Chain A
Amino acid sequence: MRLEALSDGKQYPVEIVRKADVFIVRIGEREYRVDYREPRESLYSLIINGKAFDIGVEKSGNGSYNIYFYDDFFKIEFADALQRQMLVSAADGATGKEEIVAPMSGKIVKLLKNKGDEVKANEGILIIQAMKMENELKASRNGTISQFLVKPGDTVNSSQLLAVIE
């Protein structure tokens, strides 16, 4: 299987072949022979050329994974060639609407704008409180707030849609 991986803005061609419990993974020019086990869900135990790794692996969306080492963290995205193009154009597209979603579970403290207000990029939209800390969520582009789906005092879940800017 051939894939394109994306990590911190850099692209890596990846090829994976499975032979029973061993994976042959090629990243660019380098080849890794990987003895793979998953002793717990989301916990990979890999032995690569005699080196042992415990790695936390978490799916964070379509084709995207959070990879945890005891001292570091990486976000790796995958797509085949066509999907990659679609992803990039979606991310670059300045057209369309922006959805403001909750970055974590918490409580809405205050709305800084009203429905119909114009906002500039980097302007605060609302304040969300989690664990006693208040965080301001900002617009990433200019536009008009077409929808507010929450009000002060509401408890929201991570990734819940809060407002829409068009």
Chain B
Amino acid sequence: MKKQKNHSTKPIRKVLIANRGEIAVRIIRACKEMAIDTVAIYSEIDREALHTRFAKEAYCIGPPPSDESYLAIEKIIDTARRAHADAIHPGYGFLAENAAFAKSCEEAGITFIGPPASAIEVMGNKTAARKMMEEAGVPIVPGTTKPLNSQDEVMKVAEKLGFPIMLKASGGGGGKGIRIVRSAGEIGEGYRLATSEAASAFGDPSLYIEKFIEKPRHIEIQILADSSGNVIHLGERECSIQRRHQKVIEECPSCIVDEKMRSSMGEVARKAAGAVGYTNAGTVEFLVDREKHFYFLEMNTRLQVEHPVTEMVTGIDIVKTQLKIAMGQPLQMRQADISMQGAAIECRIYAEDPDNNFLPSPGTISWMLDPGGPGIRNDTGITQGGEVSIYYDPLISKLVAWGNNRQEAIERMRRALKEYKIYGIKTTVPFHERVMKNEHFLEGDFDTNFIDTVFSAENGTRERPMREYALVAAAIAAYRERKSVGSSTKNGTFGSKWKFANRLRALNSKLQ
């Protein structure tokens, strides 16, 4: 693929943000600092949301379900036209990696703040991406680079590679259509399940094979590429702390990456970006094995959720750089100018109940106190009185702590988590607090399975010294309630108590 050589600059005066929540707020902030006008779009349920009130203009684009609002390409393009926006920032999720959307923007004469549609397309097709990366000399996880369509083919390749292997959907992503096969005997079942899942999720039953890497770490490289062909990297992010394949805590730098490994991963990432004619901000994800060999996993052709940790350590505002690149400006810095100072860590705070299998906990935040103080950054899109709705991702905020080293970053994070008060809904703040105290985490001894295995087991048997104070607080609550309603509770509402006990029991058994 040819590199775009476009030296002409065209200013962006007004940006439509095709997203919601914390990332929309983050992008609006960058625009405001650059004196660029902002246009928010919102669904009917987001009329009072922070991003709606934060932008200079705001337009309702439909009912709450995403496919009728934040995913409705035509409505969004039409709104951008009517508002005279000359660019669209897609954020992450929703339409951020939708090549058709990038094309629609282009056809409407609106700048898409992201890579060319062709790069999104290539990286979205897993086998095509693997093939292209292999040709570009990027190390990929050993396996196939073309789709396989029969169990015999799969068996042949698997025997050559050696077990265990991963079966993955060619058209895939998001953890669907993936099976681990540990021996030849498991191939039949694995093949059947993976093809059927792949067919229903992506409309394409074809699979490819990757060698299964035991206890890997997930480490990614942030890159920036301008339209003059300059590509630089901003170092790595450690993203191994995941729950069911979803990142929950990210760090920059990684405690297993030294300067030499960083520059060789960075070079490979630059090569990967160059091979697809990439422009704007992107992330190349790698799996790293126990011997620190790293393998290309995929490229995310958008702004990452976890970009703030890189910003805190490099001092570079990635969103503002995205806007400048989209205007056709060449990067102002070269690779040698990039340095990393200190360490940053991000905790994703979700509206989920960590003490009940991370069940979503939508609802209204009745009261909230944000953490602050030295080294703390809290990117959020919700305020006191705001609602975490059932329609969207339950991310409340990304709490980021910076310190002179990893230890100080962790100490600040613990302090900030303790300050952070969110009432009315359940959140993952207590989960993060427990991870920040975990010995393995503190020592940097973990892989992508850590939360689901080692941590879960230790969490189940943790000491709970606060129980006595919980009893004291509950006793006062019970006393006050009984005194305030006089003797009426004495007579008892046994009927409702029966019902309540029954419901409690029913609920508990269902949530296990």
Contacts and interface: CB of A to CB of B under 8 A. Distances in A.
B248 to A, nearest CB: 15
Contacts of A43: 367, 421, 423
Nearest to A60: B504
B117 to A, nearest CB: 26
Nearest to B390: A130
A127 B393 CA distance: 19
Given A54-B421, A56-B423, A74-B466, A36 B476 contact: yes
Given A99-B506, A137-B510, A46 B472 contact: yes
A74 B497 contact: no
A150 interface: no
A106 B360 CA distance: 10
A74 B470 contact: yes
Contacts of A86: 494, 497-498, 501
Interface string B395-426: 00000000000000000000001101101000
Nearest to A54: B421
Contacts of B511: 103
Interface residues of B, number: 61
Interface string A67-95: 11111111010100011001100110000
A2 B506 CA distance: 29
B510 A65 contact: no
Nearest to B479: A16
A57 interface: yes
Contacts of B503: 99, 101, 159
Contact of B464 (A46, A48, A72): A72
Contacts of A32: 468, 472
Interface residues of A, number: 71
A20 interface: no
A106 B390 CA distance: 6
B509 A57 contact: no
A40 B366 CA distance: 10
Nearest to A12: B471
Contacts of B464: 72, 74
A86 to B, nearest CB: 6
B433 interface: yes
A62 B502 contact: no
A101 to B, nearest CB: 6
A57 B474 contact: yes
A6 to B, nearest CB: 10
Contacts of A5: 471, 474-475
Given A18-B479, A62-B493, A74-B467, A90 B501 contact: yes
B430 interface: yes
Interface string A1-21: 101010100001010101000
Interface string A94-109: 0010111101111100
A104 to B, nearest CB: 6
Interface in B470-496: 470-479, 481-483, 492-494, 496
Contact of A91 (B393, B429, B479, B505): B505
A16 B355 contact: no
B363 A59 contact: no
Contact of A65 (B466, B468, B474): B474
A105 B45 CA distance: 15
Contacts of A106: 360, 362, 390
Contacts of A74: 464, 466-467, 470-471, 474
A57 B477 contact: yes
Interface in A117-166: 129-133, 135, 137-138, 140, 158-159
Given A43-B423, A76-B470, A86-B498, A140 B505 contact: yes
A135 B359 contact: yes
A105 B362 contact: yes
Given A46-B472, A69-B430, A103-B511, 17 more contacts: A16-B479, A18-B483, A23-B479, A25-B476, A43-B421, A48-B469, A65-B473, A68-B430, A69-B470, A72-B470, A78-B475, A78-B478, A82-B492, A91-B501, A101-B503, A131-B362, A140-B506
22 contacts: A5-B475, A7-B471, A14-B475, A16-B478, A25-B476, A30-B468, A32-B468, A32-B472, A46-B469, A53-B469, A53-B473, A70-B429, A74-B464, A82-B492, A83-B494, A86-B494, A90-B501, A99-B499, A99-B506, A104-B359, A104-B361, A132-B393
